Amino acid sequence: MKASSRTLHRSGSRSDLSPRVRRGLGSVLFVFAFSTHAAAEALRAGVFDPPRAAPDFALNASDGSELKLSRYRGKVVALGFGYTHCPSVCPTTLAYLAEARKKLAAAGSDFQVIYVTVDPERDTAANLKAFLASFDPTFIGGTGTPGQLAQVRTAYGITLSDRIYVDTLPKSTYFLDHSSFVYLIDRAGALRAMAPFGVSADDIEHDVKVLLSR
Amino acid sequence: MKYVLHYGVLILLVVVALGVPAWAAFAPIHPDSREQIYEIPKGTWARRQAGEKFDLIPAEIHLTLGVRDVLVMKNHDDVPQLFGPVLIMPEQSFRLPFGKAASYLFTCPLHTSGLLTIVVDPEPERGWSRLLWRTTAAARSSVAP
């Protein structure tokens, strides 16, 4: 570090620059070098080429407001589908997403998790809010009418089974098989990648960082 | 002179008999590409609409870590297609790299079972494992059309 500043000082024209300008120039070069490196870095999730615009939707948010995907332009969004009574897949996915967000530290403020229910009968906005808050209070849930949710699933290619009942459990208890991956949407609202179930928090953090730097 | 020739041939045979398996067992694998590509040809949707039934991808796909561990799906049809786990737009491709040897289960409406299994085998290690992998790969490529 010392050597480079000495070199800068010795070089005729640059030595005329004020320290403030030099610092600014250094920051610009650093940001350029960092962003070039990040842009070249490959995502670890599955990648769409070319990326398409993520279909927008309007649902009821778990915080009581209207949930529009386009509201989150400027942030990297992880979009998942599931339900609060899910015994394993959804809690695991949400735990990884929460861990990834924690690892992102300050950059995590530009990362938004949206979890859309596939079970509107049991997942009210309040239930979703409580469920998601147990992972991360910033996570937003989405619910709506069965028709609205079916439209969103179709737009994203999400599959959903009929209700699965277990003989030994009460009739009110049922399970659902659903697509378990998470989409990653960039700041511009383009559907960039799909992280299959089981992708680690480290890999999610890596990909979100790459997308945040683009 | 005759014996020299005989011995020469014998030595050559021994060298080949030992050398080829040794190479197969210890030489590093340098694949041309790590991608396993599946494509939806143009007209697929129209064929399905006409009642034709066919599988575009096998229900179980085998990949090998470090050798062929990137699944690529391309849609050349005129309509969006659910291909394996994802919805792929016309002339869009989806590239999914795998970093861990495991068995991955995806929902896939293209199959009657509704499931697609992707088995990612571990990278063949030097020695017996790599020899076996090369032998299997050679056998597969000789059978493939």
What is the Cα–Cα distance from B104 to B121, expressed in whole angstroms? Answer: 11
Segments making up each domain of chain A, as ranges: 2-40, 46-212
ipTM of the complex as predicted: 0.70
CATH number of A46-212: 3.40.30.10
pLDDT at B86: 84
* Cβ-based contacts of B97 with chain A (< 8 Å): 42, 44, 46
Mean of per-residue pLDDT scores for chain A: 84
Provide the pLDDT for residue B70.
94
pLDDT of B33 over the 70 cut:
yes
Give the pLDDT of residue A23: 52
- Express each pLDDT in B121-142 by its tens digit: 998 888 887 888 788 878 877 7
Smallest CA–CA distance, residue A1 to chain B, in Å, is: 37
Q: What pLDDT, in 10s, does the model give residues A139-187?
A: 999 999 999 999 999 999 888 889 999 989 888 899 998 888 999 999 9
Q: Does B85 touch chain A (CB under 8 A)?
A: yes
How does pLDDT run across A8-20, given as a tens digit for each residue?
Answer: 333 333 344 455 5
Query: Which residue ranges of chain A lie beneath pLDDT 50?
Result: 1-17, 21, 25-39
Instruction: Give how far Cα A18 sits from Cα of A1, A4, B134, Å.
Output: 18, 16, 64
Does A203 lie at the interface with B, CB-CB under 8 angstroms? Answer: yes
User: Using the beta-carbon criterion (under 8 Å), do A194 and B94 form an inter-chain contact?
Assistant: yes
- Chain B, 109 to 128: residues with Cβ < 8 Å from chain A are 109, 114
Which pLDDT score is estimated for A28?
46
pLDDT tier, B99 (very low <50, low <70, confident <90, very high otherwise): confident
B114: which chain A residues are within 8 Å (Cβ-Cβ)? 159
The whole domain housing B119 covers 2-143
Residue of A nearest to B82 (CA): A157
CA–centroid distance for A137 within its chain: 15
Cα(B81)–Cα(A8) distance, integer angstroms: 57
Q: Into how many domains does chain B fold?
A: 1
Identity at A72, one-letter amino acid code? Y
If you average pLDDT over residues B19-47, what whole number do you get? 85
* pLDDT on residue A38: 44
**Strand partners for A58:** A68
| pLDDT of B120 | 92
Partner-chain residue, chosen from A48, A159, A178, that has the shortest CB–CB distance to B94: A48
pLDDT at B87: 87
Better pLDDT: A209 or B81: A209
pLDDT (0 to 100) of residue A120: 96
Asked if A177 reaches chain B (Cβ–Cβ under 8 Å), the answer is yes
pTM of the model: 0.74
pLDDT computed for residue B7 by the predictor:
82
Rounded CA separation B83/A109 (Å)? 34
- Provide mean pLDDT across the span B75-80: 92
In chain A, what percentage of residues exceed pLDDT 90? 67
